[in-house]
Amino acid sequence: MAQSIKTVGVVGTGVIGASWTGLFLAHGLNVLVSDPAPGAEENLDAHLKSIWPVLERLGLSPGASLENYKFVGKSLKGHYHRVDFVQENAPERIDLKTNLIGEIDAETRPGLSVHRSVQKNPGRVLIEYPFNPPHLMPLVEIVPHPGTDPTIVQAALDFYTAMGKCSVLVKQELPGFVANRLQAAVGNEAYSLVKRGVLSAEDLDACMTTSLGPRWAFTGPFMSNVMGGGGGRDGFKHLLGHLGPAAKAWTDDMNAHVYVYNEENLEALDKSVQKMLDDVDAQQVEAQRDDLLINFVEREEGSFSSGLDSSIQRYFTSTLISKNGARWVIIQHIYRWFQGRLRSDMPRVL
């Protein structure tokens, strides 16, 4: 199905909708866009022009052009027959979603994939949940409901993979889905530690960016545990069996000091954050982060695997290239990342 999709309809042009539009254009697709918000057309034009240099740097497909989209107005009504795929990105309001998905469902031709919620033809509808911004971050979580047609699920996986995404099938719909829950788990403990006075916000960030961040960018928690347990097939079980008692004690302490979301705790956290910002230009940090992130995901045909042992090559190829279609320059850019971290002119919080 991915090959048959030539024109995508994008409903909603906020940060995520605009980012999707840029990604689709970069892959040579035609895009019809709608949004009822005042100034949406102008904002979309400005956003696409701002991210296009990044997309050019990552690599454009043949025929890719900013000229291949058209803003058609407040709605795609009258244009749904022209699209092969609908990406809906409206605000998270149930009444709005219900009406909008009903419109999309009624106007699109049978068999078309509609990506968001459920209406009278639920078999062709599912949720895709990107990690923001979609034009840069590879992950997209594909979340069908029990009634979604399996062929639609596979078509979605294939399409997003063709767009260079890491398409992950989430088999149960959960609040926050997967990546957000992982982020929340780490974030909650970070907030707890800073609120308790264990360390500052700046030092907490340094703990993450100089340890778990780069490690998990390579392998993720499960493969990291395999290697931590000796690297063999029994590595995972060995590590968890060995660290289990200690990890339980850590978890018990964490559960006893769960961060509570209230104004008083927020003020306490923000004091540490403000102190961190006294000597840091947040916009400079953002620009440097984005540049390093682009380096990390830059697509350079064949370059990442040079010099790697064949068994390592197979692991990274199967998990990072064949799976998501992106060509990751892992070793080179992680190395550059550490070089940058050690430069004295770069903020420590990067």
**Dihedral sign computed on CA atoms, order 106, 112, 118, 123:** positive
Q: Does residue 333 have a pLDDT over 80?
A: no
- Same structural domain for residues 207 and 113? no
| Same domain flag for 195 and 336 | no
d(CA 133, CA 210): 23
Sequence-separated (6 or more) residues with CB below 8 Å from residue 320: 326, 328, 330
Residue 119 near residue 91, CB atoms below 8 Å: no
Residue span of the structural domain in which 246 resides: 178-279
Gap between the Cα atoms of 338 and 317, Å rounded: 23
For residue 208, the model assigns a pLDDT of 94
How many domains, in total, are found in the chain? Answer: 3
Q: What is the pLDDT of residues 131-165, one digit of tens each?
A: 988 998 889 999 999 999 999 899 999 999 999 99
- Selecting among 107, 128, 141, 202, the annotated active-site residue is 141
- CATH number for position 132: 3.40.50.720
Of the residues 279, 294, 318, the one at which a domain ends: 279
Give me the mean pLDDT over the 298-304 stretch: 45
Distance CA 1, CA 18 (A): 23
267 is catalytic: no
Q: Would you say 320 and 345 are in contact if contact means Cβ atoms under 8 Å apart?
A: no
Q: Which amino acid is at 117?
A: S
Whether the model pTM is above 0.75: yes
Mind listing the pLDDT tens digit for each residue in 174-193? 999 999 999 999 999 999 99
Asked whether residue 105 falls in the same domain as residue 90, the answer is yes
The answer on 198 and 97 residing in a single domain is no
**pLDDT for the residue 68:** 98
Q: Which residues contact 248 (CB under 8 A, 6 or more apart)?
A: none
CA–CA separation, 13 and 75 (whole Å):
11
- The verdict on 84 and 137 lying in the same domain is yes
The predicted-structure confidence for 73-87, as pLDDT tens digits, reads as follows 999 999 999 999 999
Taking residue 244's Cβ as centre, other Cβ atoms within 10 Å add up to 10
The reply to whether 10 and 81 lie within a common domain is yes
Given 136, 169, 202, the domain boundary residue is: 169
User: What is the reported pLDDT for 80?
Assistant: 92
- Please say if the pLDDT value at position 327 is more than 70: no
Do 133 and 208 reside in the same domain of the chain? no
Is residue 156 within 8 Å of 127, Cβ to Cβ?
no
Nearest to 22 by CA among 3, 4, 1, 57: 57
Across the range 101-130, mean pLDDT stands at: 71
295 and 310 together in one domain: yes
CATH code at position 204: 1.10.1040.10
- Specify whether 210 is located in the same domain as 335: no
Contact 166, 326 (CB under 8 A): yes
Which band of pLDDT confidence, cut at 50, 70 and 90, is reported for residue 170?
Answer: very high
Give yes or no: residues 79 and 133 share one domain: yes
7 and 156 co-located in one domain: yes
222 with 313, same domain? Answer: no
Instruction: Provide mean pLDDT across the span 264-278.
Output: 96
Q: 3 pLDDT band (50/70/90 cuts)?
A: low
